[in-house]
Structure 1
Amino acid sequence: MTKLNLQDGYLHNKQILLSERMSENEMSPEEILNEASLPRLQIECINVSGDYTEQLWKYELVYKHFTGDIVKVTIGQTERKTGRTKPPIGEDGEIDLPFRDGAHIKHDAIHLNLPAYAICDDIVEKLDLSSFKLKFPEKYSR
């Protein structure tokens, strides 16, 4: 997995390992991401069982309200049960998203022209929308 940095308020690469920044700043991945990217779409894996056999995935729109508050609007959620007792990280190093909400966040990000991120523990991954567009050229050729 590639270790990346937040610089000047922008995410420069696809994934960022936030454990060092979290320990230095005692900030959650979401708080660090709030400094870098608003508005955005995000999908977060919540480890319900403690061993990843039960996961809750929350798909949300996150933006800064004119009062200055960070607002999260839940768009969808998926419960996933698996026999795997590790975080949902694929062999390619990418976060393994649930099928339906994984497709929805990419589609919505393209149409709303917003960045999209997946969060799992201290890993934040900027989702690759270009490869998703290539899978469905009839929808995204305009």
Structure 2
Amino acid sequence: MQYIKILGAGPAGLSAAINLANEGYIVDVFEKNKDIGSRVQKNLQGLENWSDNQDIIKEFRKMKIKPNFDFEPFKNLKITNNDENWDFYCKRPAFYLVKRGTEEKSLDQGLKEQALDKGVNIHFEETAPIEDVDIVATVLIQETNSQLQED
């Protein structure tokens, strides 16, 4: 069996982990926080759906990601620039509103549940050196000495 190490347990890292586990890989995911979604606690996110012919929820299914999280479709939109208002109606959802964070039925917790069901090993409050991982699915912040001196 082949082992894969992923740095970051956000949507990108967990989606990769789920798909790799589906293909028979042993997957370890390193997450620096205590739980998945703790960085985006109780936020909402719109999954954009109007610029592609394929519905994003159907795309998740094609990527072998089950929509086991709450998603609310929005077809009616009002856009304003404070001088003018525009009302739009879309035949299919323009976007889906999803919860983010550590609460039940959030995108983050849904992906965590699927990853764990597939046997993915999630190492909370752990990180790994970038040279030791196969996939980097997180934002890396590196400060050089010159950047520190500028502050």
Give TM-score, length-normalised by structure 2: 0.25
Q: Return the index of the structure with the highest Cα Rg.
A: 2
